[in-house]
Structure 1
Amino acid sequence: MTGNSSGLDNATLALFQNADTSVVVSLIYAAVAVVNLLGNGLSMWLLLFRTSPKTPSIIFMINLTFTDLALGLALPFQIAYQLRGYDWGMGPGMCSSLTLVFYTNMYCSILTMTAIGIDRYLGIVKPMLFRETREKRSIAVISCFAMWGLVLSVLHPLMTTDLTFRVPELGITTCFDVLKWSMLPSMAAWAAFLFALVFVLFLFPFCVTTFCYVRVIGQLGKERTDKKRRATRLAFVVLLVFTLCFAPNNILLLAHAVLRLFYDKSLYMAYKLSLCLSCLNSCLDPFIYYFASKDFRQKLRQVLRLSNIHSLSSIDSVKLEHKESQYTAHCGYEGQERENSEV
């Protein structure tokens, strides 16, 4: 630590005065916001109004799209804050709301992608476990509420603390760039908070997701079918989001906290830049929908006019559904069960 009146280290102060970094980060956020709102706006319209029935995967995708759109709407405020030289002028309440949107997006996205992975696993590896479609939908809806409850309970300190911080030597008021020790009552509470973020909301879901997709690909065996190729691509995109978007931020958060607590050092600049990477997940999530849902793929191709196949007539559609039902019954699946396990 230094003798600065704010008590901040020189590395943090240097970041606040680095105009080039602010511009670069703002440009990244601007690009993410545009792609986010366009991609997820289209995805939400397709998922809500053009995709039926609402299978568990579709319910999870709607939940994920909602969190992504919330982030896209919050990014302009973050851009304005960056371009003003880290000077927040919209009050503590708005600062807490913006911060909460950032972190709920990250951790709800992680848990939702884990839920989609579990749904793929149950549909392909354990297809007889849940046979009733209505039961699966109810579980999906309850799971979404449980995700939000878990994430908001862990992030509760962010909602009850003034996250703004006055830096008198620079004449600015920051927003969630300086955490106050008073946010939590003790060192044990800080340890529990960091453990919940890094291990409960990131590492454990990452392990579960990896296990599910490895088993799905293994179950499909050596088949060279479109189904296996899509499953492999889905696994690749999901694991890419975890490793590119979520892992750096959570690893740096833990490392930065340990260094600050025990060695009086900082990784703040690296951690700040990793927040940009965490936002990229909202641009990659539509690819997850594309590979995870056959109905979403078909509707998207129709909207973008990428399909060379004319729409089936209603009679042909009925015949096709009847043939699929006969085939799935022969394989031990019900028609809806097959749709849920399609990737």
Structure 2
Amino acid sequence: MTGNSSIPKLDNATLSLFKNTNTSIAISVIYMFVTAINLVGNGLSMWILIFRTSPKTASIIFMINLTFTDLALGIALPFQIAYQLQGYNWRLGPKMCSSLTLIFYTNMYCSILTMMAIGIDRYLGIVRPMLFRQIRKKKSMAVIGCLLMWGLVLCVLYPLMTTDLTFEFPELGITTCFDMLKKDMLPSTAAWAAFLFSMVFILFLFPFCVTTFCYVSVIRKLAKDFKTAQKDRAIRLAVIVLLVFTLCFAPNNILLLTHSVLRLFYKKSVYMAYKLSLCFSCLNSCIDPFIYYFASKDFRQKLRQIMNLHSLSSGDSMKMEHKESMYSAHCTFEGQERQHSKVYLMPGTSQRRESETT
């Protein structure tokens, strides 16, 4: 993954990745699937959270923050798809490469921290409702929390913003984007270790432990309650969040740590496995709308209203058509009955007989 700034040196794992077209196509297909689900699901979620959900509680603000990062990833992924399909040849320049790489990793780690914040908010609301009641009511605390998340992530990922992440490899005739980093990106091996370990431990492992504690505490608290519906939703939410951590985030960060240690100290690599885990980490943006559904009662109600709107409209129109057809048949029957009664009336008695008929 790293090489000298002037003489490119690829390990066998990275070289085989660049030459393996099947892997490139498989990763591109996954990214296409994620992009489609991401833009539809999170676009609808953003519209509901901003325009249809009120009041804007702390949880809603955290969800808006999470949706924003997911949509940014959905917009950036098509560029990554084009890069993969062109044989790992980046043609959009160093600045675009740095921007899209930053979006990619910011989405992952802001998602992790935001899920932790939602878990803490639910913990305070269910396990410690009286002690932190006033804090949870302040929207400014949620906004400050989101700003602190972004600040922390950007501080850790600062080297990605200030470095040319493209790398020309003449032997294959390609220019890579973040697949091969220069050793002089950071001044020393210790700086590399601090950068990579902070990503794994500060931005993943610590939030994972906090989130697990919060949701386990919530489930234990609700297990003593008779409100089974609330308990079931809380359990489903906990399962979904932990599923996102274990299936989307954990493999990528564990492989990042493994690859970094092997590359920095043993000159070995597991880069192909890391690359595959990186594309699976994007699946979190498809699962996040389910988190909103179970975490927010207001979001559930608004989504159900939207989903039932078409069927209700169709049902109402069918009822109106049925009423109109019944009314038309009734009028036709009355007209025929009146016309039939007039046929048998004698001259001079039409007025009296007609009044009797009607």
| Same fold, judged at TM 0.5 (above) | yes
- The equivalent position to 2:301 in structure 1, one of 298, 303, 327, is 298
Corresponding letter in the other structure for 1:215? S
8 A contact 1:74–1:101 mirrored in 2: yes
CA drift at 1:308: 9.8
CA contact (8 A) 2:8 2:169 kept: yes
More displaced 10-residue stretch of structure 1: 31-40 or 255-264 = 255-264
| Partner-residue secondary structure (3-state), 1:132 | helix
Paired residue for 1:241? Answer: 244
TM-superposed deviation, 1:131: 2.6
Residue 13 of structure 2 is aligned to residue 49 of structure 1: no
Matches within 5 A, 1:134-145: 135-145=137-147
In structure 1, what is the Cα distance between the partners aligned to 2:310 and 2:167? 53
Secondary structure in 2 aligned to 1:6?
A: coil
Give the SS at the match of 1:149. helix
| Letter paired with 2:45 | S
Runs of at least 4 residues off by over 4 Å: 306-310
**In structure 2, what is the equivalent of residue 250 of structure 1?**
253
What is the distance in 2 between the residues matched to 1:130 and 1:258?
A: 42
Question: Which of 270, 274, 278 is residue 271 of structure 1 equivalent to?
Answer: 274
> Aligned partners of 2:309 and 2:237: how far apart in 1?
20
Q: Is the 8 A contact 1:67 1:104 kept in 2?
A: yes
Give the number of aligned pairs: 308
Contact 2:76–2:103 (8 Å) recurs in 1: yes
Deviates further, 185-194 or 5-14:
5-14
CA distance in 1, matches of 2:269, 2:188: 21
Q: CA deviation at 1:133?
A: 7.0
Alpha-carbon RMSD: 1.9
Q: Does 1:87 align with 2:86?
A: no
Contact 1:301 1:307 in 2 (8 A): no
Counterpart contact for 1:111–1:205, Cα < 8 Å: yes
CA distance in structure 2 between the aligned counterparts of 1:145 and 1:38, rounded to whole angstroms: 26
User: AA paired with 1:202?
Assistant: F
What is the CA distance between 1:6 and its match in structure 2? 2.3
Q: 1:172 aligns with which of 171, 174, 195?
A: 174
Letter in 2 for 1:113: M
Aligned residue type for 2:146: C
Compared CA separation, residues 134 and 266, structure 1 to 2 (3 A): closer
Instruction: Compute the displacement of 1:261 (Å).
Output: 1.4
**Helix, strand or coil: the match of 1:165?**
strand
- Deviation at 1:194? 1.5
Contact 1:130–1:136 (Cα < 8 Å) also in 2: no
Structure 2 residue matching 1:305: 3-state secondary structure: helix
Q: CA separation of 1:117/1:309 partners in 2, compared to 1, >3 Å: closer, same or farther? A: farther
SS across alignment from 2:251? helix
Residue 80 (structure 2) pairs with residue 78 (structure 1): yes
Partners of 2:125 and 2:204 lie apart in 1 by: 24
Q: What's the secondary structure of 2:171's corresponding residue?
A: coil
Letter of the 2:204 counterpart: F
Question: 5 Å matches for 1:167-206?
Answer: 167-206=169-208
- The equivalent position to 1:19 in structure 2, one of 21, 29, 33, is 21
Question: What is the CA-CA distance between 1:17 and the residue it aligns to?
Answer: 1.2
Q: In the alignment, is residue 221 of structure 1 matched against residue 208 of structure 2?
A: no
Instruction: Report SS of the residue matched to 2:138.
Output: helix
Q: Please state how far the C-alpha of 1:155 moved relative to its aligned partner.
A: 0.2
Give the residue type in structure 1 aligned to 2:24.
S
Distance in structure 2 (CA, Å) of the matches to 1:15 and 1:256: 15
Deviation sequence 1:105-134 (CA, Å, 0-9, x none): 000000000000000000000001233378
SS in 1 for 2:90: coil
1:288 matched residue in structure 2: 291
Determine what percentage of the aligned residue pairs are the same residue. Answer: 76
Contact 1:29/1:276, CA 8 A, preserved across alignment = yes
| 1:245–1:278 contact (8 Å) kept in structure 2 | yes
Give 3-state SS (helix, strand or coil) of 2:128's partner. Answer: coil
TM-score scaled to structure 1, two decimals? 0.87
* 1: CA distance, partners of 2:190 / 2:33: 39
Distance in 1, Cα, partners of 2:84 & 2:178: 12
2: CA distance between counterparts of 1:299 and 1:307?
14
**What whole-Å deviation, never above 9, does each CA across 1:17-38 have from its counterpart, x for those lacking one?**
1111111110100000000000
Note if contact 1:110-1:202 (Cα within 8 Å) is conserved in structure 2: yes
- Paired residues for 1:106-125 under 5 Å: 106-125=108-127
Structure number with greater Rg is 2
One-letter amino acid of the structure 2 residue matched with residue 298 of structure 1 = Q
